[in-house]
Amino acid sequence: MEVLVAMAVFVLSHAAIARTGIKPSLVNRLGARTYLALYSTLSLMLLGWVIYAVLTADRVVLWDTPTWSYGFAVFLSAAAFVLIGMGALSPNPLSAAFRKTGFDPERPGIVGWIRHPLVIGLALWGIAHVPGNGDWPSLVLFVGSALFGLLGVFAVERRLKRRLGKDEWLRLSRGQGNVDRWALLGAVLGLALWATLLYLHPALFAADPLAVVLGQWR
C-alpha cells in the first residue's frame, strides 16, 4: 500500500505544480534558481520515498528474471543516463528542463534531435528495469516511471504549445540538432553517474547486474 501512496504522491506533486498556478507563483516569490533547487530537492525526496517503499515491501513474483535482462538493463540504462545528463545541462524551452535560458533555435544542440531528452531518459530508465524485475512492487516503480516519462512527453508538448503559441513554437523547434559543449558534458556526467550507480548497485539494491553480464561474456 505504501508503494502506491508514494508513487501517487510523486506523480500528483509534479502534475499539480505543472498544471496549476503554483509554479509561476513560487517562481515570482522565490526566483527561478531557488524554485528549481527546492523543486529538485522535493522530487529527489519523493523518488527516494518510492524506492524505499519498493525495497521494504513484500514481494509477489510474477515471472522469473531472464538472463538477457541484465545486459538489457545495463546498456539501456546507460543510454537513459546519457539523455538525462544531456537534458539536465542543455538549455531547453520546449520541454521539462533545468535550464530555460541560453537556447539558440538556430543551433539547438541535442534538443534539435531529441526534444525531450530528460523525460525520455526517465522513460528509458524505467523500461530498462522492467524485464528483470517481474515482481510486485518493483513493477509499480519501473512501469510507473516509463509511463510517467512517455505520457509526460505528450503532456509537456501540449501544454507548451498552448502557452507559447504556434508561431513561437515553430520558431524554437525548427533548428537542426548539433553537438555542443552542453551535450558533451551532459553525456560525460550521465555516464559517470551511470557507472557510479552500477558500481554501487550490489550494496544499494542487493543485485549485481554487471557481474552477471561479465560472467556471460567469459
Question: Which among 122, 118, 120 has a CA at the least distance from the CA of 93?
Answer: 118
Number of H helices, E strands in the chain: 9, 2
3-state helix, strand, coil in the chain (%, to 5): 75, 0, 25
% of the chain residues with pLDDT over 70 = 96
Beta strands in 69-210 (DSSP E): 135-136
List, in sequence order, every residue forming a beta bridge with 135; answer none if it has no partner.
Answer: 61
Question: pTM of this prediction?
Answer: 0.87
Q: What is the pLDDT of residues 144-189, one digit of tens each?
A: 889 988 888 888 888 888 888 888 988 988 888 898 999 999 999 9
Between 196 and 17, residue with greater pLDDT: 196
pLDDT given at position 18: 64
